[in-house]
Amino acid sequence: MQRPPWATAVSIIGIVIAIYGLLNSGAGLMMPRMGAMLKQGKQMEQEHMEQEEQNIKASEAQEKKEAKQQDFTGKDFPESEAQKEFSAKARQDQEAFSQQADKSQEKAMQSRMQQQQGMFNMPGWYTDFFAPLASLISICIFAFYLFASILLLQTKPSSISFFSLAACATIGFTILKTLVAVIAMSSMGMAMEMTGIFIAVVSVVLLVVVAQGDKEAFTAA
């Protein structure tokens, strides 16, 4: 019996989803290396902030030293009251501007550091254990998804059950991964799983189409 149009559409969409899922799942295997790179980046950023703080202190010390030298020179070459007042005011303005610039720069660096830590604060158990394991399980699920979609395209009698099982496994495991990612990284985890959520939503739609479609061709095959 001729294959119904809904079976052709569902199987083709299923094949596309499965192939994309297989390619996308491999990224999680790189998560341990990514976690190590993030830790190294945080350490380098912290060292940079400490170096900047040391440079600021050294600059302030140099300015104070120069001010003392100017005061000492002024003793040998007395200045008028107007010149002294002008020099003192200029020195105060320079110090105030320098302190304000240093504070604003320090606040900007701290704000950027906090944003980066908030975005990429991945716990070790997630990057080193869960993410690689979840990727391996996802590869197996999407491989089965691809197999079931090909069977559905061939109108095999068992293809309906296989495809439903593959779609349900995809939906359930996506929900689990999203929950764990949100626990590990809050809103950043939700953003990372948006592709999986989209695949799960499409799988729900495909399941509804399969449930309501005419299955006479599959029973006659």
Helix, strand, or coil here: 101? Answer: helix
**Could you tell me the two tokens for 148?**
């079931």
* pTM attached to this predicted model: 0.63
Torsion of CA 99, 101, 102, 105, to 10 degrees: 160
CB of 145 closer than 8 Å to CB of 19? no
- How many of the other CB atoms lie within 10 Å of CB of 173? 18
Domain ranges of the chain: 5-220
Mean pLDDT value across residues 70-97 = 59
- pLDDT single digits (tens) 89-143: 666 666 666 666 666 666 665 565 555 555 556 777 887 888 889 999 999 999 9
